[in-house]
A and B are shown apart, each in its own frame.
Chain A
Amino acid sequence: MLKKKICMVGQFGVGKTSLVRRFVDSIFDERYLTTIGVKIDRKDVSVDGKSLTLMLWDLAGEDDLAQLNVSHLRGASGYILVADGCRASTLEKAAELQQRITQTLGPIPFVLVVNKADLRDQWEVQSSQVAQYGWPTFETSAKAGSGVEEMFLGLAAILIRSHAASEAPGQ
């Protein structure tokens, strides 16, 4: 079965681990436990009639104390940039990480996720701020589950199409 490595990146506390947990185990835990190093999960999915194993690498969030170790993205087929809608600074951090990853790994597929849609009334991130990047974007709530599956499967679909294109004769 086709296997694809997807990395979750973003500032700490934006909900990367909760998104994976919601997607893999259909669980949301109110407790906040910071990720140390990398947490690796797998999930078998079917997209456009094709089976696919997603290896989900949940990378520790970047903050003033620790920088993202870009080497952890080696071999990644795509990544998910996660921002917290309630903290505008996390969107800026996501944009900064995108630049850094692109500089190191070159252009690989990714999506932007603005998480915590259940706290919409407290959002600092404006739609116009998100739109300025022109990236494929999903609004999710790891807590309520909204948008999570669509987001992972959306990226999976992009990866399958990208894979099919690279496998096509003449490529």
Chain B
Amino acid sequence: MSPSAHLDLLAALGYAVFEQSTDGSFHSLGDAPEWLPAGSLMEAFPFLEVFLPDAEAFWADPARDHSTLPSDFWTQTDARGNNLHFCAIAVAGEQKLLLIERTRLRFEQTQAFVQYAHQTKLAHDEIARLGRELQRATEAKSEFLARMSHEIRTPMNALLGVAELLSETPLNAEQGEYVRIFRRAGDNLLNVINDILDFSKIEAGQVELEYIAFDLADVVQEAIEIIGVRARAKGLCLNSDIRPEVPPRLMGDPGRLRQILLNLLSNAVKFTDRGGITVRVKPDADQPAPCTLHFTVRDTGVGIPFDRVSTIFDSFTQADASTTRKYGGTGLGLAISKRFVELMGGRIWAESTPGDGSTIHFTARFSVAETTTALEARAPKATAPAALANRALRILLADDSEDNRFLVRGYLRDTGCVIDEVTNGAEVVEKFKGGAYDMVLMDAEMPVMDGYSATRAMRALESERTGPPTPILALTAHALKEARDRSIEAGCTDHLTKPITKTALLEAVHRYAPEHPNAGRIHVAVESWLKPVIPAYLEKRRGDVAKLRFALDQGDYATIRTLGHQMAGSGAGYGFAEITEIGGTLEESALAGDAARIRDGVDALDRYLNNIVTE
């Protein structure tokens, strides 16, 4: 093909063709297309100022012979305001050729492709932004709920607690009834708050089920016992029937299962005026999964209208708007139960004939637990709630609310515990430095220093001492899981939530009370130069206790006299006047052959050695 034929072909394809002269300037080859702007090449196409340096380098490279270098697209506006799209191609060969192409189709195809990718990216960005907004809103809601919960629980703690203390005082029948109403209304209000918190936790995805071993019959029985009081008050009978095929020991979340049963039973009692309520548990025949159980709660109450059966598990819904007024309630109980059931891998539904009662069904998936014996052998020994009398614990109570301190004092009044009170975190740390406490009850939010910081400071102090850590029980109105995590992370032993009942506080204090309370400890100041030898001295005396008991059993009064003599001579010298005194008594008693007095002396020495704290 001749050069002119080449040019004709390029012109036919819509290219403007330029050749670079030896002086670096460009001249047009062939006929110029009608779209070519007037003026010099550089004036016509400003984009070339960035492409030509690349083209020059390309042409200068001998290896590029007979190849091409395309430019990016560029767009410029013509005199009439139309957008025109171009690209340039440098061609390497004997001539340095520059082709300019006015391109529309290729540009638009590329633009459509990139546009699609960009719009997808923009959509993803928007989804991410909405997600961030949602997260912020959820966090704000959680923060608000936590704050609201705290602000309500703090005075509720005082209200319910004082009502409990009041109920323990002598009251006439009328006063007693007032207090019962007061407590019942308070409990109801607390249930409403707990429902709202539960629901918000479920919505925020903050609920994690436990997976522990439990007795199914115990859970069912506990729920029946709790609701039984109200059922009996209405003259209703309440029964349970667990089929023998159901494994007695299961793995799962007994607390949430109990909560579901309590919700369903509570509703059943609320909407039933005569007859009774029955809880049944059997294996779920529709599920091949082992240990999926089918629970039913059947009542003989007012029933649910046909058109409402499917909506009663929706949030804030009751079967009929009028029932809200007649029966009360937030309408959250069944919604919460539904979410818990779903978390347990089951489903919940209702069957009802208006006027003839309702049956609520739910299924839940569990695993079979090991036998009771095997589990109990491994489980930590449960401590039954017991009276704290005679334990004489020394407790440091930190709470800025006078009402709440009054309440704790009231709850612990008959236990013999000695309570020191402070009103902020800085004071609690100061007191803790100077005193030996068996336990600390710590509010979270206090002025000057909060309970978390105070706990961390106290744990730091303990790390410089010997001996077991002091139980620090957070006692706060913060009820969300994060608050509990925060307490434990700060170093608290446990997290108790206000409002707290007397029983719950006493159980917790009992559970964490040390074996040898500090209140019975004997503090002895010893000379600093003697401190290094004191532990060995006391250890030797502890060994003497065993020798003395053995000698007493053998009637070996000579040994007792010798040991007593040694103690009488050394005790006061080390700073332990009590040991000198006991030693003297033992020596005398041995001489007199008084076994009873020797036994008393050895017991006194044993107690003294167990309770001694050197400073």
Please give the residue numbers on chain A whose beta carbons come within 8 Å of chain B beta carbons, in ascending order. 12-13, 25, 32-41, 55, 61, 63-66, 69, 71-72, 74-75, 86-87, 89, 124
User: How near does chain B come to A2, taking the closest CB pair, in angstroms?
Assistant: 15
B53 within 8 A of A: yes
The 6 closest A-B pairs by CB, nearest first: A37-B73, A37-B72, A39-B75, A38-B74, A34-B115, A74-B50
Q: Which residue of B87, B110, B121 is within 8 Å of A63 (Cβ)? A: B121
User: How near does chain A come to B88, taking the closest CB pair, in angstroms?
Assistant: 11
User: How near does chain B come to A122, taking the closest CB pair, in angstroms?
Assistant: 8
Given A71-B50, A74-B53, A86-B129, verify A40-B75 contact (CB < 8 Å): yes
Q: In whole angstroms, what is the CA distance A63 to B115 when docked?
A: 12
User: How near does chain A come to B115, taking the closest CB pair, in angstroms?
Assistant: 5
Q: In whole angstroms, what is the CA distance A32 to B122 when docked?
A: 11
Interface string of B53-91 (1 = CB under 8 A from A): 110000000000000000011111100010101010000
User: How near does chain B come to A60, taking the closest CB pair, in angstroms?
Assistant: 8
Q: In whole angstroms, what is the CA distance A56 to B366 when docked?
A: 69
User: How near does chain B come to A44, taking the closest CB pair, in angstroms?
Assistant: 14
Chain A residues with Cβ below 8 Å from B118 are 12-13, 32, 34, 61, 63
Q: List 25 A-B contacts (CB under 8 A).
A: A25-B81, A32-B119, A32-B122, A33-B115, A34-B111, A36-B73, A36-B111, A36-B114, A37-B73, A37-B74, A37-B75, A38-B47, A39-B74, A40-B46, A40-B47, A40-B75, A41-B77, A63-B117, A63-B118, A65-B117, A72-B50, A72-B72, A74-B49, A75-B49, A124-B129
The reply to whether A75 and B50 contact each other, CB–CB distance below 8 Å, is yes
The reply to whether A40 and B115 contact each other, CB–CB distance below 8 Å, is no
The reply to whether A38 and B75 contact each other, CB–CB distance below 8 Å, is yes
Q: Which of B104-150 contact A (CB under 8 A)?
A: 107, 110-111, 114-115, 117-119, 121-122, 125, 129
Chain A residues with Cβ below 8 Å from B54 are 71
Chain B residues with Cβ below 8 Å from A87 are 125, 129
User: How near does chain A come to B55, taking the closest CB pair, in angstroms?
Assistant: 12
User: How near does chain A come to B106, taking the closest CB pair, in angstroms?
Assistant: 10
The reply to whether B74 and A13 contact each other, CB–CB distance below 8 Å, is no
Q: In whole angstroms, what is the CA distance A93 to B474 when docked?
A: 47
Chain A residues with Cβ below 8 Å from B72 are 37-38, 69, 72
Chain B residues with Cβ below 8 Å from A32 are 115, 118-119, 122
Interface size class of B (residues with CB under 8 A): 20 to 34
Chain A residues with Cβ below 8 Å from B122 are 13, 32
- B50 and chain A: residue at smallest CB distance: A74
Q: In whole angstroms, what is the CA distance A100 to B465 when docked?
A: 58
- B106 and chain A: residue at smallest CB distance: A36
Interface string of B86-107 (1 = CB under 8 A from A): 0100000000000000000001
Chain B residues with Cβ below 8 Å from A38 are 47, 72-75
Given A37-B75, A87-B129, A124-B129, verify A65-B46 contact (CB < 8 Å): no
Q: In whole angstroms, what is the CA distance A69 to B73 when docked?
A: 12
Known: A64-B121, A74-B49; 10 extra A-B contacts, CB below 8 A, are: A33-B115, A36-B110, A36-B114, A37-B72, A38-B74, A40-B46, A65-B117, A66-B114, A71-B54, A87-B129
The reply to whether B50 and A39 contact each other, CB–CB distance below 8 Å, is no
User: How near does chain A come to B112, taking the closest CB pair, in angstroms?
Assistant: 9
User: How near does chain B come to A12, taking the closest CB pair, in angstroms?
Assistant: 5
Chain A residues with Cβ below 8 Å from B47 are 38, 40
Q: Which residue of A34, A39, A71, A89 is within 8 Å of B114 (Cβ)? A: A34
User: How near does chain B come to A57, taking the closest CB pair, in angstroms?
Assistant: 8
User: How near does chain A come to B417, taking the closest CB pair, in angstroms?
Assistant: 53
Chain B residues with Cβ below 8 Å from A13 are 118, 121-122
- A61 and chain B: residue at smallest CB distance: B118
- B51 and chain A: residue at smallest CB distance: A71
Chain A residues with Cβ below 8 Å from B77 are 41
User: How near does chain A come to B401, taking the closest CB pair, in angstroms?
Assistant: 38
Chain A residues with Cβ below 8 Å from B83 are 39
User: How near does chain B come to A168, taking the closest CB pair, in angstroms?
Assistant: 26
User: How near does chain B come to A20, taking the closest CB pair, in angstroms?
Assistant: 11
Q: In whole angstroms, what is the CA distance A90 to B490 when docked?
A: 39
Chain B residues with Cβ below 8 Å from A25 are 81
- B110 and chain A: residue at smallest CB distance: A36
Interface string of B184-211 (1 = CB under 8 A from A): 0000000000000000000000000000
Q: In whole angstroms, what is the CA distance A69 to B118 when docked?
A: 18
Q: In whole angstroms, what is the CA distance A148 to B92 when docked?
A: 44
Chain B CB within 10 Å — which of A12, A36, A75, A87 has the most?
A36
Q: In whole angstroms, what is the CA distance A74 to B49 when docked?
A: 8
Q: In whole angstroms, what is the CA distance A138 to B119 when docked?
A: 26
Chain B residues with Cβ below 8 Å from A35 are 75
Q: In whole angstroms, what is the CA distance A69 to B121 when docked?
A: 20
